[in-house]
Structure 1
Amino acid sequence: MNNALSLIVAVALSGAGFAWTVQAIADTVVKIGHAGPLTGSQAQSGKDDERGVQLAINELNARKMIIGGQPVTFEMISVDDQADPKVGVNVAQQLVDKGVVAVIGHYNSGVSIPAARVYNDAHVVMITGASSNPALTILGFPYVFRLATNDNEMGARMADYAAKTLKAKRVAVVDDRTAYGSGVADVFVQQAGQNGLSVVAREYGTDKSTDFKAILTRIKTENPQVLFYGGYYAQAAYLARQMSDLGMKAVLVGGDGICSPEFSKLSNNAFDNRMFCAQGGAPLDRLPAGKAFREKFNSTFNTDVDTYSPAFYAATLIVADAMQKANSTSAPVFSKVMSEATFDSLLGPVKFNAQGDWVHAPVTVYRLTGGKLEPLVAR
């Protein structure tokens, strides 16, 4: 073979090798989905969660991980479920079709519950850092996990707090008829009865309501000391402003759906020192790595942590940790590790029970003070 021909063969082989290398790198991309409300009244929460996932993805890629003998690059695919169950099912199928092996989401229980079947049937892991309705894990789907506290804990905790700390005797309840809002309100009502509280009114809105004057006028005649709202912060803010307009003296309490710094802004701080809420997890700044997380989050996104970005961040890292422990990026393989192993996380030790719920998930009660949520009681 002459020198010219040798050079041509060498270049051809080199090109083939280069092409093979590029293909090998492409084959190691692991797609992680995020799903939540990125538009609409709950977009602040959806974007906060998305940022938590992205921050974890950035850190994982900086580690240059090897799984199954191959270098792995993680890629986030984020979709907007609009806080709508029908849209949620559609985008869940879109994520499956795009080849994700895990989805970090959804935010709303009413979206997570129907979407969970799509993921489970496709053998894709779903882990939510927010959806709290117990019905999600009662489904018994082996690919579904919850890194959050469920409504049985949060609704009951706020009923206990209303009775034992706020010393209330008469309470009113309003919910938005979503899976989350009605679920946490039902638990509050049940526990309120066990605490000897009198539920003097039970009213309803929707997750898009802006006018609560009629139901509040009825409630005011019953003179409750506490009003529990089962729903999300945007509607809770409208409710609070209209309670103030009507001169109602009742304290406002709720679950994690209203436990957002956005509540203060949207309500014009109408309920400073008169709003209390429960949130899953320990206060971020009391966690060993909490302050460092907040600083990284702020410097990366030029905004502060809202509510559940730490949980969505931790959930993403738990999925990657399970892959490493399983030495596989295949969901049927690493999902079994998620079911069996204990994980270290930003939130503390994480172990899932047979239903996919976080064992001994903590709960913290917060008070709105000076426009900020101040942690009061943790368990």
Structure 2
Amino acid sequence: MKRHSIALSALALVSLSSMAQDAVVRIGHVGPVSGAQAHYGRDNENGARMAVDELNAQGVKIGGKKVRFELIAEDDAADPKQGTAAAQKLCDAKVNGVVGHLNSGTTIPAAKVYDSCGLPMVTPSATNPQLTALGYKRVYRLLANDNALGAGLARHARDVLKLKKVAIIDDRTAYGKGVAEVFRNTARTLGMEVVSEQYTNDKAVDFTSILTSIKSKKPDGIFFGGMDPQAGPMLRQMQQLGLSKAYLFGGDGICTEKLAELSSGARTLGNVVCAVGGASLDKLPQGKTWRSRYDAKFPKQFQVYSPYTYDATMVLVDAMKRANSTDPKVYAAKLATTDYQGVTAKVQFEPNGELKTPAMTLYVYKDGKRVPIN
């Protein structure tokens, strides 16, 4: 018995010694894990954490040395100031690369911080086109931008639903304002009349006065540029005010599984048409098996972007492998030549960091469930 104990202790020491010799590679992740958008942030962080766990199980070697990955997770509460503070914290911690941020309003100012300290950043969800127009060499986006989402929804409204009059509300964030502007401009180009343009903010929950004003214009549909903590109450108030026949359009910010809960069973949920910058997981070769692994690890937490944070983490590590280095100064150049089959897409980048040939999926809600229609 004593010899057995000694043998086990020796084995444990060998194991600890082996772990101590592994090179540690730290991947930073930033998202809102507090506040009204915490369900998005947790989902994003889960995807990155799942990738890190799977990479560690594979026993990855880079530059001939076994590496152990760690996720360094920060909270930006969807606030630009907290976003830049979190970015500086990751720079100071000398992480090896960054996945994030969730929101365009936090990602755009954070990108400047990462650029100044030479850190590559892959965003899984920030869709404002301005991000890749800033000229930063180490910034990449893993899904379609607002130009695709806003325009795709406007075309669907006109060509498929045959709408003639639309109203627009945006929350004045970089994301909400950006996607609403694309929808508005495309709608007008396609011959639809924009009968009302209204503004709110990303903390509001009462839209009665805005919706009352819009109702008098008798629109066929309303486009909301914003996130689901606002879209949920908006749907309830649309029902209460008798706007029960108007469609509610929105980008990926409202296109979550939680929207049904946030709308508290409002019948107007059935009028939602929303867009996500990627293909439906159900239609992707690895999608269903990936989702089953995710659900087993993080039950009832899936929202939208976790497959993208998972892929973003894998894309960073793929570049490290091809460069035979975890040093951001060395492997950053390899990101530009990425050719990686991810869960969400075949990942290849344009010279400006945009994803090549991004897909877009339109969703509706049936019986409280989000369902793809293309």
Question: Which category of TM-score, normalised to the shorter sequence, fits these structures?
Answer: over 0.9
2:333 aligned residue (329, 333, 336): 336
Aligned-residue CA RMSD (Å): 1.5
Q: Does residue 361 of structure 1 match 2:346?
A: no
Equivalence for 2:250: 254
Return the offset for 1:174. 0.1
Paired residue type of 1:108: N
Q: 1:224 aligns with which of 219, 222, 229?
A: 219
- The 8 Å contact of residues 272 and 370 in structure 1, kept in 2 or not, is answered as no
- Give the aligned partner of residue 314 of structure 2: 317
SS of residue in 2 equivalent to 1:273: helix
Aligned to 2:198: 203
Are residues 1:74 and 2:69 paired? yes
Structure 2 distance, partners of 1:42, 1:152, is 23
Deviation string for 1:35-58 (max 9, x for gaps)?
A: 000011110000000000000000
**What SS class does the counterpart of residue 121 from structure 1 fall into?**
helix
Give 1:141-180 correspondences, 5 Å limit.
141-180=136-175
- CA–CA distance in structure 2, aligned partners of residues 22 and 87 of structure 1: 34
Residue 241 of structure 1 is matched in structure 2 by 236
In structure 1, C-alpha distance between the alignment counterparts of 2:52 and 2:20, rounded to whole Å: 22
2:356 aligned with 1:348: no
- Provide, for residues 82-115 of structure 1, a one-character-per-residue CA deviation record: whole Å limited to 9, x for no partner: 0000010001111111121111100000000000
How big is the shift at 1:303? Answer: 2.5
Q: CA deviation at 1:272?
A: 3.3
Corresponding position of 2:3:
none
Residues 166, 96 of structure 1: CA spacing in aligned structure 2 closer, same or farther, 3 A cutoff?
A: same
Is 1:58 the counterpart of 2:45? The answer is no
Change (3 A) 1:20 1:217: closer
Match of 2:263 in 1: 267
After superposition, the Cα gap between the structure-2 partners of 1:196 and 1:327, relative to the gap in structure 1 and judged at 3 Å, is same
> Residue type matched to 2:39 in 1?
Q
- AA aligned opposite 1:143: R
User: Counterparts of 1:151 and 1:348 in 2: how far apart (Å)?
Assistant: 18
AA in 2 matched with 1:262:
K
SS in 2 for 1:247: coil
Aligned to 2:181: 186
SS of 2:198 mapped into structure 1: strand
1:285 to 1:85, Cα distance in 2 relative to 1, 3 A: same
Q: Match for residue 282 of structure 1? A: 279
Indicate if the aligned counterparts of 1:79 and 1:91 stay in contact, CA closer than 8 A.
yes
Structure 2: how far apart are the matches of 1:19 and 1:210?
A: 52
The structural deviation recorded for 1:305 is 2.2
Seq. identity, %: 44
Partner of 2:84: 89
The answer to whether residue 277 in structure 2 is matched with residue 299 in structure 1 is no
Structure 1 residues 169-178 or 157-166, which shifts more?
A: 157-166
Say whether the 8 Å CA contact 1:294–1:304 is kept in structure 2.
no
* Count of residue correspondences: 359
Structure 1 position 304, deviation (Å): 4.7
Q: What is aligned with 1:3?
A: none
Distance 2:270 2:19 in 1: 58
1:35 lines up with 2:3 in the alignment: no
Q: 5+ unaligned residues in a row in structure 1: which ranges?
A: 1-16
Q: Secondary structure at the match of 1:219?
A: helix
Whichever residue aligns with residue 363 of structure 1, its letter is: M
Give the whole-Å Cα distance in 2 for the aligned partners of 1:373 and 1:49: 19
Structure 2 CA distance, aligned partners of 1:313 and 1:23?
Answer: 26
Partner residue in 1 for 2:10: none
Looking at structure 1, the residues matched to 201 and 69 of structure 2 have their Cα atoms a distance apart, in angstroms, of 38
**Which has the higher mean CA deviation after the structures are superposed, 197-206 or 291-300?**
291-300
CA shift, 1:18, in A, is 11
TM-score if structure 1 supplies the norm length?
0.92
Task: Check the 8 A contact 2:235/2:269 in 1, yes or no.
Answer: no
Structure 2 spans left out of the alignment, 5+ residues: 1-13
In structure 2, C-alpha distance between the alignment counterparts of 1:357 and 1:131, rounded to whole Å: 11
Shift of 1:348: 2.5
The CA deviation string for residues 209-230 of structure 1, in whole angstroms up to 9 with x for no partner, is 1111111111000000000000
Cα pair distance change 1:35/1:19, threshold 3 Å: closer
In structure 2, what residue type is equivalent to 1:252?
Answer: L
| 3-state SS of paired residue (1:252) | strand
1:332, CA displacement in angstroms? 1.9
C-alpha displacement of 1:167:
0.8
| Shift in CA distance, 304/22, structure 1 to aligned 2, threshold 3 Å | closer
Paired with 1:176 and 1:62, the residues of 2 have a C-alpha distance of 42
Change (3 A) 1:197 1:316: same
